[in-house]
Amino acid sequence: MVPRILVVDDDPMTVELIKAYLEKEHWQVILSDNGRDAIDIARERQPDLVILDLMLPRVDGLDVCRILRSSTDIPIMMLTARTTEDDILLGLELGADDYITKPFSPRQLVARVRTALRRNKSFQRDSGENMLFGALVISLARHEVRVSDQTIALTPREFKLLVIMAREPGRVFSRQQLLEGAFGPDTESLERTVDYHIMNLRRKLDEAQAADYIQTVFGVGYRFSTGAATS
C-alpha cells in the first residue's frame, strides 16, 4: 500500500513545498492547517506518519502530539521554528519520533521520512514475538510491557529502546547506538535525549520493581541485564 502522510502546518508555502517533495516519492499526502482538524483526520484516516508543526491555530502542535500519542504509535515528526534544546526535549517527551527545525532541507526531510517509514514497517514485521525475562514480558504483537500482572505504560520511543537492548542482553550500547537504533541513522537528535528516555523507562520499571533490568555502564552507555544490577 502507498504510505499516507499527514502534513499539519498553517503556512501555505511550507505545505506546498513539502507536498511537492513527498508526492515525488509517490506517497499519498493528506493536509491540515490546524490542530483540531489534524486530530480528527489522524483518527479517521490513520496515516502512516505525521509531519507536525508546533505553532498551530485552534490546538497547539504539542497538544496534538500528546493527544495522538495517547491512542496511536504512528511516527510523529515535528517540524518547527522552535530550535532550543528545551523545545526539542519537550517534543520528544510528548512522544515525537523526530524533530526537524525550520528552515529545513526538503531532501533531508524526505530522507528522514523514508527512514521513519522503513523502521516502522520493520518493527511491525517483528510483531509476533514475545520476549520473556522472568516476570518481565515484552510483547511486540501488543506493543505492551508487563511485569507479573502489571502493565507498564511506555511511550513508543521508550518501548523501542527497551526492545533494542532486550534483544541482546548483556551487550553495552553507547548512547549514539541507541539514538540511531531508536530514531534512525539520519537523526539529528541529541544524545542527551537517550538519557532522558532511559531515565523515564527506569522510573516506570522501578514502579513495578523491575528497574534492575536496565543498567548504566558509566562512561559508555546502557545495557539490558537479566541478573542483578551493579549500578
18 or 74: whose pLDDT is higher? 18
- For the chain, where do the domains classified as CATH 1.10.10.10 start and end? 127-224
Fold classification of 127-224 is: Arc Repressor Mutant, subunit A (1.10.10)
Spatial CA neighbour of 119 closest among 193, 70, 183, 26: 183
56, with CB counted inside 10 A (0-12, 13-18, 19+), is buried
pLDDT of residue 116: 82
* Confidence tier at 130 by pLDDT (50, 70, 90): confident
pLDDT of residue 40: 94
48-52, 78-82, 127-131, 192-196, range with the lowest pLDDT: 127-131
Overall average pLDDT of the 158-186 stretch: 86
14-18, 86-90, 158-162, range with the lowest pLDDT: 86-90
pLDDT of residue 229: 39
Reply yes or no on whether the pLDDT at 52 is more than 90. yes
Spatial CA neighbour of 108 closest among 16, 18, 9, 4: 18
Q: How far apart are CA 186 and CA 183, in angstroms?
A: 8
| CATH superfamily, with its number, for domain 4-124 | Response regulator (3.40.50.2300)
pLDDT digits (tens, 9 = 90+) for 177-187: 998 887 765 55
R_g of the chain computed on alpha carbons? 18
pLDDT digits (tens, 9 = 90+) for 27-44: 999 999 999 999 999 999
Where do we find the cell 523491575?
A: 210
What single letter denotes the amino acid at residue 143?
Answer: H
67-71, 83-87, 203-207, range with the lowest pLDDT: 83-87
Q: Give CA 93 to chain center in angstroms.
A: 10
24, with CB counted inside 10 A (0-12, 13-18, 19+), is exposed
- For the chain, where do the domains classified as CATH 3.40.50.2300 start and end? 4-124
